[in-house]
Structures are given as structure tokens and as C-alpha cells.
């Protein structure tokens, strides 16, 4: 198809080249331009007032007492390991079905991630598997609200309380989600958000940590700013820190996106609902779990499960030939080459996560995906599954 000449497109017997449909796209509008330009003109590009405004607006949004902005979700997760006292030789029980950063942050501190299997429907940590994975070395539990679907916090909190463990929430995919009627980020445990451009809202690159106390917030601000001392003296470094600062241009973009977050989330919800309706007429493709009384998802990606035995690579290639982007999403972390080599992990250790990882496929999904593109995606997937 790539070889079809433009003048041939549309002629009988000649296939036209289809307009590509990408996996994701940020929704940037006038307000974002306005705030970024004002910040640019202000000359205060780092450690300026936009950071404070962004942190305050995000804290209000997720109903957390304090929020510290950082340079990425990964940076936020790393700092939360320090906040929780995770150190060399400790174990952190976490999910294999996530983006690699949620386990890497444990390794950064010389601790070991211990993977517990997931629930096949929610795709989040199975609390019974978490309980079974706890040893005398366990220091913390790190649940991920995968694809924006809230993890089982009540059960995990009970386990953590029984064993005296910390909880750090990876909420990188879950801004706007709610658990038992409260926003993700408001639980009192440190919760990390991320703002890469495929997320619900973006700062380009960036992240933030919601915490319950001013003390934790101050520590995060210091650690992300080269360990500077609380006395405010610029070149006094009280602890080993990092440059994990978010800049003011990024914060300005984030503030504008936050102002529009309800509009953005509503649009994403409509796109998800259209997919649900289109897939109602398709057999064999399993769509994302619906919300219930305790779990309200904020739509991050649209990931379907293909039928058992499908040739997923073939499906991806056939979709690509139709101009439709798709990705196997997500590979299990314990089977990543680095983890296999370092820890000797093999297939069969976490059967639910491995089965899910072998069949899940992310389809094009973003706030302004047109209905006709969604129809094309679903038609192409039906053909690709043959």
C-alpha cells in the first residue's frame, strides 16, 4: 500500500492510502498557550510562582493536603522510596503488570521488587497474592492504578497495617480516578502522578507527588532540589538530593491543563463510551472493565484483550497496514530482559499477568479521537482478527 501513487488513489481497483490514526495525542488549547507565553515573558523559568500555583491547584484537585511537583513520574516514585525508608536489602511488593518505572524505583534504592500476581479483571494487584508475597524483609507495598482503574486500597491498607508496611501509590495513569468516592491521591499515602504527553493531562515531561503532611512535602522539595536545606540558604545542602525540579514553563502548561481537566476527562469518557458501543457488536474482543460503586476510572488508554490464541503480532501488522497504530500493552516487568538477567525470572512465575500481557492491545485513544476514526479502528481490528 505504501507504494500506491497519489494519482492512483481512488481509482477502481487501486487501494487508497489511509490516513494514519495514531495511538495518542495531547489536547493543547488557547489557555495553555496563554499561560506558557506569560511565563516565558515573565523571565521566571524555574523556581518561580507557576510551580506554587500548579502544586496548589493539583492538591485541590486530588484533595491532598500537599503536592510537590517533580520532573517526572519516575523521579516522584524514586523520592517516595526514600520517603518510605526503603533501603538496601528491603523488599517492596508490587505488580508485574505496569510500566517498568514502578519497579525500577525500588532498584534505585538497592531494594528488591517482589512481584505479586494481578486480578485478571481489574489488572491490578491481587491482595491475596500481596499477602502471600510478604516476608520479614518487606518494607512497603507499591500498588499501581493501572490504566486509571483504582487498585484495591482498602484491602492493601489492611495488609499494610497488619505487617507494619508503608504504601506508595503509583497513580501515574490515574489522575481524575476515584476510589470509594474519593479522588485517587487523597488516601494519605504518597501518590505519584505523571504528565508525559500520552497521559490524561500533560506538562510535556513532569510528575507530582501528593502527600498528607507538610513535613513530607518539605522533604520532597528538598530532595528534588539538590538536598537544599530548609533554612532557604541557596548553597547549603543538608542531604543528598537530586535535580528533579519541574520548570515553570512545564508548570504553566500543567496549570492550564488542570483548569481544563474536567473538559478533557469528559471528552475521554465519551471516546471510551463510543468504543464500548462499537465493540458491543464484536465477538471475542474483551473491553476494559466497567466502573462499579467503588472504582471510577479516569480514561488513560483503551486496552482490549484479544481472544486466547490470537496472533497478536499479525494483528498489529495488519492494523498498521490499515493505518491504525496499536501496541502490545503492557509487557510484564519480570520478563523484561534486564529483570530476567538480573533475577533469573522466567515464564510461568506470574501466570495471570503473563496471560494478560500476551493478549492485551492498546488501540488509538485520546481526548479528540473522531467517531469515524474509532469506527475505522474497530473495523480494521475485526478484519485483522479474521
Ligand X SMILES: Cc1ncc(COP(=O)(O)O)c(C=O)c1O
Q: Which residues are designated catalytic?
A: 199
- The answer to whether 365 contacts ligand X (rule: CB under 6 A) is no
Instruction: Tell me, residue by residue from 169 to 208, as one string, x for binding to ligand X by CB under 6 A and - for no binding.
Output: -x-xx--------------------x-x----------x-
Of all residues in the shown chain, the one whose CB is closest to ligand X is: 73
Q: Which of 101, 175, 220, 303 binds ligand X (CB under 6 A)?
A: 101
Q: Which of 142, 144, 251, 380 binds ligand X (CB under 6 A)?
A: 144
Stretch that binds ligand X, among 167-175, 223-231, 315-323, 332-340 (CB under 6 A): 167-175
E-assigned strand segments in the chain = 66-70, 91-94, 112-115, 138-142, 166-167, 169-170, 178-179, 182-183, 191-194, 207-211, 295-296, 302-305, 327-328, 360-363
User: How large is the greatest C-alpha to C-alpha distance in the chain, in angstroms?
Assistant: 76
| Residue number, 196 or 339, with CB nearest to ligand X | 196
Strands 191-194 and 169-170: parallel
Q: For 115-141, b where at least 16 C-beta lie within 10 A, e where not — what string?
A: bbbbbeebbbbbbebbbebbeeebbbb
CB of 10 to ligand X, least distance (A): 40
- The answer to whether 149 contacts ligand X (rule: CB under 6 A) is no
| Residue number, 253 or 380, with CB nearest to ligand X | 253
- The answer to whether 102 contacts ligand X (rule: CB under 6 A) is yes
CB of 331 to ligand X, least distance (A): 13
Q: Which of 188, 180, 122 is CA-nearest to residue 296?
A: 180
Contact (Cβ atoms closer than 8 angstroms) between residue 149 and residue 297: yes
| Residue number, 24 or 310, with CB nearest to ligand X | 24
Stretch that binds ligand X, among 29-37, 67-75, 150-158, 272-280 (CB under 6 A): 67-75
CA distances from 115 to 34, 54, 137, 184 (A): 45, 34, 14, 22
Point out which residues bind ligand X (CB under 6 A).
Answer: 72-74, 98-99, 101-102, 144, 170, 172-173, 194, 196, 207
Amino acid at each position: 500500500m505504501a507504494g500506491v501513487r497519489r494519482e492512483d488513489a481512488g481509482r477502481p481497483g487501486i487501494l487508497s492510502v489511509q490516513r494514519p490514526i495514531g495511538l495518542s495525542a495531547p489536547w493543547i488549547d488557547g489557555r495553555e498557550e496563554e499561560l506558557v507565553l506569560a511565563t516565558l515573558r515573565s523571565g521566571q523559568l524555574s523556581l518561580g510562582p507557576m510551580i506554587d500555583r500548579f502544586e496548589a491547584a493539583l492538591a485541590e484537585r486530588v484533595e491532598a493536603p500537599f503536592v510537590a511537583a517533580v520532573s517526572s513520574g519516575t523521579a516522584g516514585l524514586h523520592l517516595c522510596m526514600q520517603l518510605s525508608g526503603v533501603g538496601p536489602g528491603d523488599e517492596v511488593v508490587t505488580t508485574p503488570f505496569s510500566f517498568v518505572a514502578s519497579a525500577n524505583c525500588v532498584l534505585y534504592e538497592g531494594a528488591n521488587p517482589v512481584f505479586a500476581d494481578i486480578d485478571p479483571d481489574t489488572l491490578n494487584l491481587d491482595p491475596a497474592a500481596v499477602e502471600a508475597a510478604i516476608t520479614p524483609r518487606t518494607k512497603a507495598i507499591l500498588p499501581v492504578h493501572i490504566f486509571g482503574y483504582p487498585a484495591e486500597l482498602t484491602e492493601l491498607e489492611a495488609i499494610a497495617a497488619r505487617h507494619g508496611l508503608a504504601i506508595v501509590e503509583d497513580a501515574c495513569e490515574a489522575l481524575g480516578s476515584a476510589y470509594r468516592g474519593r479522588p485517587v491521591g487523597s488516601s494519605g499515602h504518597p501518590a505519584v502522578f505523571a504528565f508525559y504527553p500520552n497521559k490524561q493531562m500533560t506538562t510535556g515531561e513532569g510528575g507530582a507527588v501528593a502527600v498528607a503532611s507538610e513535613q513530607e512535602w518539605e522533604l520532597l522539595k528538598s530532595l528534588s532540589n539538590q538536598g537544599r536545606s530548609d533554612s532557604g540558604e541557596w548553597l547549603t545542602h543538608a542531604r543528598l538530593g537530586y535535580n528533579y525540579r519541574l520548570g515553570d514553563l512545564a508548570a504553566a502548561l500543567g496549570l492550564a491543563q488542570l483548569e481544563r481537566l474536567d473538559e478533557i476527562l469528559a471528552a475521554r469518557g465519551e471516546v471510551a463510551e463510543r468504543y464500548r458501543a462499537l465493540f458491543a457488536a464484536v465477538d471475542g474482543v474483551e473491553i476494559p472493565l466497567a466502573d462499579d460503586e467503588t472504582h471510577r476510572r479516569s480514561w488513560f488508554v483503551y486496552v482490549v484483550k484479544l481472544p486466547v490464541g490470537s496472533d497478536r503480532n499479525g494483528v498489529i501488522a495488519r492494523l498498521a497496514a490499515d493505518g491504525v497504530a496499536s501496541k502490545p500493552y503492557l509487557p510484564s516487568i519480570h520478563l523484561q530482559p534486564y529483570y530476567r538477567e538480573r533475577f533469573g525470572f522466567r515464564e510461568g512465575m506470574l501466570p495471570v499477568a503473563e496471560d494478560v500481557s500476551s493478549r492485551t492491545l492498546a488501540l488509538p485513544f485520546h481526548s479528540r479521537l473522531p467517531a469515524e476514526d474509532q469506527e475505522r479502528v474497530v473495523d480494521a481490528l475485526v478484519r485483522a482478527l479474521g
